[in-house]
Amino acid sequence: MEKQIQELIDYIKADYAGWGMWTDDDIKEKMIDSFNSGLGFKTGKKYIKIMVGNGGTPMASAWGFIVNVDDDPKFKKGDILYPAGWGTPTRNRARGNIIEGNFKGVKWTGPAYLI
């Protein structure tokens, strides 16, 4: 699943790079580099936590979670979940699935809220 995680991280990076209304190329490059260097992930027993830096600090907050087990009673392996906090995801609905390549509920700011 590392390939799919990297695809998600690349998607997040591209979304961030296309987000700003950059007026200065040097500032744009520094902001993008800072954001990109803060992205990472940590694999746990049930979930893979995607982390993003904050103010230049690498991995300062939980961006979201990926289900990393086949036997979850509610979700499929690869489902993208919104963070409830630093260590736990919300378990109300998946916002996409990295194995299926479905990132439509994802932005650089995190998985989408429910509407």
The distance in angstroms from the start CA to the end CA of the chain is 29
Instruction: State the pLDDT at residue 103.
Output: 84
Helix (H/G/I), strand (E/B), else coil: 106: strand
Whether the model clears a pTM of 0.75, i.e. scores above it, the answer is yes
Give tens-digit pLDDT for 46-98: 999 999 986 555 557 899 999 999 999 999 999 999 999 989 999 999 999 99
Q: Which amino acid is at 62?
A: A
Token pair, residue 41, equals 């992930």
